Structure formats: structure tokens, C-alpha cells
């Protein structure tokens, strides 16, 4: 690959998180029985008139604002004509001449190398119905017909499959953060057409473009691009010519294959949609939508490093999920030990959530309770094993850590007299080990501390136990 440069551009279709479809009041994202969330509009019956879903416009504009697009205050809709059973009107309502969002960029980072990926535009369109091809027949479900989509088209700025992956991950993170889309790839909520070309290093003119249609996993995109770029280089190296074509990815075989020309050779004959007026926005509305945007992940990461003094690794884990980041921050603001809060959230909290398949909203422990629990550990009121036991109670039932400590009798024993007593009993019961320590075997002390912990049923302050043992063994 070294003597060739790759250029990758993506067309990303994202299902917007709206209650209803793009042009009717029927529910979007209906799961369950096929062909129930349908009406004359999304079935394309003659005479049915579309009515624009304002929420979809708002979501697309907010996406544009997040990536720094110029928002078109007047945008129009066009008919993209094609004849296929997944589109009952025989045209898709889309935007071609005047899309909602123009320009913009997404920042990515691959192996510590920051890079800006420019976005050409974002337009609004409707999704098609879902077709499943069986052996001798095809099934079609119109529940998905007219679900709101936005299509984000990048410039060919990505130079490797890793960069394409980083772009998609950054975009997905932003969209989930801002509540624009759930970006559930398994449900087909993000689908990509992937354009790629290669050219000899040292030349400027882009090579012949090849498009891979309808990719719906990030891993598949990475594999398909890796294969496709190598294929293009191989053709050029062996003196062949590339043709501009549409290919499909065969995931099982791990190859891209040309699509039959009639599968993609559309003449869409775009023309203005006569049944929808232009979408006209005023600057104040756009600004109000801008004000609704959350702090973006990259900004949040930088702030967490600055304000809480956390290492980059912690910040990456904590901000991967917005609710988790909020939980951390609420706890950290009530704690004197931010690193401990981070450790508990990344460790015990994520473990407990993962074990039970829960989201942070389901956890009974509050940020305040976690901060209080950490304070009890730092004040040496309880030791770590006890703290984990208290955490489990708080996670399952909620409540106040001090009350749980009291109820379960978990407070650490720091009373010198009591610890001396445990130390004497531990030595008396393990004369041989005690002799080894006296003979210079330092590690023997750890065993005796363990015995003190056992005798105190885990409640002795281990540091004080070690000190008491040393005193008695030397004395």
C-alpha cells in the first residue's frame, strides 16, 4: 500500500429517533408484527398527502450544528424516482437541490493522530420498506416505510479503514449523546455506502471511485475496505484499469463483488416534490435548537482531564456513555477523592451493571451514596472488602452507606486493645509461622495479618494489625 494513497468517503444513513414517521402520524421504529404501523401516506396510496415531521427537521439541524454545518434557512424536497417494491410511491422523497445542512466536519483521532474529516452536506429523506428475500418469494414490511432518515455525506478525506472506523465511532457517539438516534446497528439504524479509490503516491488527482453499497456493521466496513483497497492496488500494479462501479460485500467469502449493472444503474430523474412546501427556518429557532445540544464527548473528555485530574484511560471509559459520565460527575462533585470515584464507577459499578445486564438508570445506588462510601474508606472506618459488601447492598437496594455499615456491623476495628487481642491469638495459634518471621522471613507477617483478619471477621484495620503483630513478635 505504501506507494499508493487511499481516499475514502462515506454516505451514512441514520434513522432519527422520532415518535412518528416522516410524513404521517404513524409510529416510527415499530417492532413486532409486520405491516401494522402503516397508513395511506406511507403505503403510497394515490391521493394521500405527506405532512412534514418537524421533529425530524429539528434532529437533522441539531446534527448539523454539532458538526459546524451551515444551516439552510430555506430547504426544499425532491422526488428521487425509482421503481422497486420497497418504495410504494415509486419515488423516494429526499433532498437534492437544497439540503438542510451544508459543510461541517468531524474530528477523529487514530493512534494519537488528530484529523479533520469534512462533511459535504446532510439531507433529510424517508426510509424504504424492508424486504426479505426468501428462496422462492420475498416478504415486505412497510412498518419501516417513511421512517425519518438523514444522510450525511463526507468528503473523501479518510485514508485508511481505521480512519473510516474512527469517523463512524465519533459520529455514532455524538448522535447518541444528543439523542438524535439510538444508532442501533443490529436494527439497521445506521447504514453506509462506502466510496473508495486509490492513486499513486505523489499524485493529486483522485483515482477511479468504487462504491460498496448498504453496509450495516462497522466491522464489515473495515473488512470490506481493507479488501477493496488491496484489490484496487493489485489491479493498478498488474497494469490493469479500474472501472467506476458499484460492488457489494460478501461477508462470508470476505470479498467485494461487482453488482449486476441493472441493480444500480438508476436514472433517478430528480424533480421538486410538489406536495411539500419548502422548510423555512428562522435564525432564532436554529439558535434555540443549538441551545439544546449537550456537551459533546470530545469536549467532555478534555474537561474531565482538566477538572478531575483523571488519566486519559479513565476519561475514555467514563464518557463512552453519557449517563455514566453524569453519574461520575455527580459523585465526584460530592467527593474529595475523584480518582477513587472513577475507580469505583469503572470497577464495581460497571461490573455490577454488566452482571445483571442493567443500565445506570436501573442502579439503586446514588452518586451521593457512592461519595459517602468512599469517604468511609478514606477515613478508615471500613476496609475495602467491607466497602465492596456495602456497595453491593447499595447497588441492589439503595440507602445510606453509614447505615448499612452499622446494620451489618462492618465498621473496621481500630481499637488498639481489641487488635492486640487478635494479634496475640494469631501468634499463639501459629507458633511455627511466628518463629519463621522472627528468623527473618518477612513474608510470614502477611500470613499472620490474614489470621487477624479472619479472627476479626474481616473488620480489623489491616495496617494496625500488622503494626501490633510486629510489636509483639519483636517484644
Alpha carbon distance 376, 382 (integer Å): 6
Which residue in the set 14, 42, 340, 465 belongs to the binding site for Zn ion (CB under 5 A)?
42
Give, as ranges, the residues between 113 and 172 that touch Zn ion (CB under 5 A). none
Residue 34 CB, shortest distance to Zn ion, in Å, is 14
In the complex, minimum distance from the CB of residue 50 to Zn ion, in angstroms, rounded to a whole number: 9
Cβ pair 151, 182 in contact under 8 A: no
Closest separation between CB of residue 46 and Zn ion, Å? 15
CB of 198 to Zn ion, least distance (A): 44
Residue with cell 483515482: 207
Is 402 a binder of Zn ion (CB under 5 A)?
no
Q: Say whether residue 93 binds Zn ion (CB under 5 A).
A: no
Question: Under rule CB under 5 A, which residues in 162-221 are in contact with Zn ion?
Answer: none
Find the binder of Zn ion among 5, 6, 14, 24 (CB under 5 A).
Answer: 24
Stretch that binds Zn ion, among 41-49, 115-123, 148-156, 188-196 (CB under 5 A): 41-49
CB 49 within 8 A of CB 58: no
Burial of 437 (0-12, 13-18, 19+ CB in 10 A): buried
Q: Compare residues 51 and 358 and give the one whose CB is closer to Zn ion.
A: 51
* 63 vs 94, beta carbon nearer Zn ion: 94
Among 12, 41, 371, 449, binds Zn ion (CB under 5 A): 41
Backbone phi, then psi, for 203, in 5-degree steps?
-110, 160
Q: Which residue do the cell numbers 519463621 mark? A: 436
The nearer residue to Zn ion, 35 or 337, going by C-beta atoms, is: 35
Stretch that binds Zn ion, among 10-18, 36-44, 281-289, 388-396 (CB under 5 A): 36-44
**Shortest Å, Cβ 334 to Zn ion:** 48
**CB 21 → Zn ion: shortest distance, Å?**
5
Determine the Cα–Cα distance for residues 434 and 420; give it in Å rounded to an integer: 15
* Number of helices (H), then strands (E), in the chain: 17, 17
Output the CA torsion 293→334→393→321 (10° steps). 20
Please, what is the minimum distance in Å from the beta carbon of residue 299 to Zn ion? 39
Q: Looking at 197-260, list the stretches that DSSP marks H as alpha helix, in order from N- to C-terminal side.
A: 218-237
In angstroms, the CA 18 to CA 174 distance is: 17
Query: How far is 278 from 431, CA to CA, in rounded Å?
Result: 91
| Selected range binding Zn ion among 17-25, 195-203, 291-299, 435-443, rule: CB under 5 A | 17-25
Give the range of 20-28, 200-208, 261-269, 442-450 binding Zn ion by CB under 5 A: 20-28
* Rounded-to-integer distance, Cα 194 and Cα 30, Å: 28
Q: How many CB atoms lie within 10 A of CB 73?
A: 14
User: Shortest approach of Zn ion to residue 180 CB, angstroms?
Assistant: 22
Please pick, from the candidates 4, 26, 289, 391, the single residue that binds Zn ion as defined by CB under 5 A: 26
**Cβ pair 101, 64 in contact under 8 A:** yes
Stretch that binds Zn ion, among 24-32, 119-127, 322-330, 381-389 (CB under 5 A): 24-32
Tell me if 39 contacts Zn ion by CB under 5 A. Answer: yes
Q: Minimal distance in Å, beta carbon 344 to Zn ion?
A: 48
Nearest to 17 by CA among 47, 56, 74: 56
N-terminal to C-terminal alpha carbon distance within the chain: 73
As a whole number of angstroms, the distance between CA 155 and CA 226 comes to 19
Place of cell 488528530: 114
In the bound state with Zn ion, the residue whose beta carbon lies nearer, of 39 and 296, is 39
Q: Which stretch binds Zn ion (CB under 5 A): 37-45, 84-92, 116-124, 278-286?
A: 37-45
Number of amino acids touching Zn ion (CB under 5 A):
5
Separation CA 42–CA 373 (nearest Å): 54
H-type alpha helices, 292-383: 297-308, 312-319, 322-332, 338-344, 350-356, 367-378
Residue 342: CB minimum distance to Zn ion, A: 47
- Tell me which residues touch Zn ion (CB under 5 A): 24, 26, 39, 41-42
Amino acid at each position: 500500500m505504501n506507494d499508493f494513497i487511499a481516499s475514502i468517503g462515506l454516505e451514512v444513513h441514520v434513522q432519527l429517533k422520532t415518535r412518528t414517521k416522516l410524513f404521517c402520524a404513524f409510529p416510527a421504529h415499530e417492532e413486532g408484527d409486520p405491516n401494522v404501523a402503516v397508513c395511506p401516506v406511507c403505503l403510497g396510496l394515490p391521493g394521500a398527502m405527506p405532512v412534514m415531521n418537524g421533529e425530524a427537521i429539528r434532529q437533522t439541524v441539531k446534527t448539523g450544528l454539532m458538526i459546524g454545518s451551515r444551516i439552510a434557512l430555506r430547504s426544499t424536497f425532491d422526488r428521487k424516482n425509482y421503481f422497486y417494491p420497497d418504495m410504494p410511491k415509486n419515488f423516494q422523497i429526499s433532498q437534492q437541490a437544497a439540503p438542510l445542512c451544508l459543510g461541517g466536519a468531524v474530528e477523529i483521532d487514530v493512534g494519537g493522530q488528530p484529523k479533520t474529516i469534512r462533511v459535504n452536506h446532510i439531507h433529510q429523506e424517508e426510509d424504504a420498506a424492508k424486504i426479505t428475500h426468501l428462496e422462492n418469494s420475498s416478504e415486505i414490511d412497510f412498518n419501516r416505510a417513511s421512517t425519518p432518515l438523514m444522510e450525511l455525506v463526507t468528503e473523501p478525506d479518510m485514508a485508511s479503514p481505521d480512519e473510516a472506523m474512527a469517523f463512524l465511532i465519533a459520529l455514532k457517539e455524538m448522535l447518541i449523546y444528543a439523542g438524535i438516534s439510538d444508532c442501533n446497528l443490529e436494527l439497521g439504524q445506521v447504514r453506509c455506502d462506502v466510496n473508495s479509490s486509490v492513486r499513486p503516491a505523489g499524485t493529486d488527482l483522485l483515482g477511479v471511485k468504487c462504491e460498496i453499497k448498504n453496509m450495516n456493521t462497522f466491522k464489515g466496513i473495515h473488512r470490506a475496505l481493507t479488501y477493496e483497497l488491496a484489490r484496487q492496488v493489485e489491479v493498478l500494479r498488474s497494469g490493469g484499469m479500474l472501472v467506476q462501479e458499484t460492488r457489494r460485500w460478501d461477508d462470508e467469502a470476505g470479498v467485494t463483488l461487482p453488482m449486476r449493472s441493472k441493480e444500480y444503474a438508476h436514472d433517478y430523474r430528480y424533480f421538486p416534490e410538489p406536495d411539500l412546501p419548502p422548510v423555512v427556518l428562522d435564525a432564532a429557532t436554529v439558535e434555540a435548537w443549538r441551545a439544546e445540544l449537550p456537551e459533546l464527548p470530545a469536549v467532555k473528555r478534555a474537561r474531565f482531564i482538566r477538572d478531575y485530574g483523571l488519566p486519559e484511560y479513565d476519561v475514555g471509559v467514563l464518557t463512552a456513555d453519557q449517563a455514566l459520565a453524569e453519574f461520575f460527575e455527580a459523585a465526584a462533585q460530592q467527593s474529595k477523592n475523584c480518582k477513587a470515584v472513577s475507580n469505583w464507577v469503572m470497577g464495581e459499578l460497571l461490573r455490577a451493571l454488566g452482571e445483571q445486564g442493567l443500565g445506570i438508570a436501573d442502579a439503586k445506588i446514588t452518586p451521593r451514596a457512592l461519595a459517602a462510601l468512599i469517604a468511609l474508606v478514606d477515613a478508615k472506618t471500613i476496609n475495602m472488602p467491607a466497602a465492596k459488601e456495602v456497595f453491593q447492598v447499595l447497588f441492589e437496594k439503595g440507602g445510606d452507606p453509614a447505615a448499612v455499615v452499622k446494620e451489618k456491623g462492618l465498621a473496621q476495628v481500630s481499637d488498639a486493645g481489641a487488635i492486640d487481642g487478635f494479634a496475640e491469638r494469631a501468634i499463639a495459634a501459629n507458633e511455627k509461622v511466628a518463629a519463621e518471621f522472627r528468623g527473618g522471613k518477612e513474608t510470614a507477617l502477611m500470613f499472620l495479618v490474614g489470621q487477624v483478619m479472619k479472627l476479626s471477621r474481616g473488620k480489623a484495620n489491616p495496617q494496625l494489625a500488622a503494626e501490633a503483630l510486629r510489636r509483639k513478635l519483636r517484644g
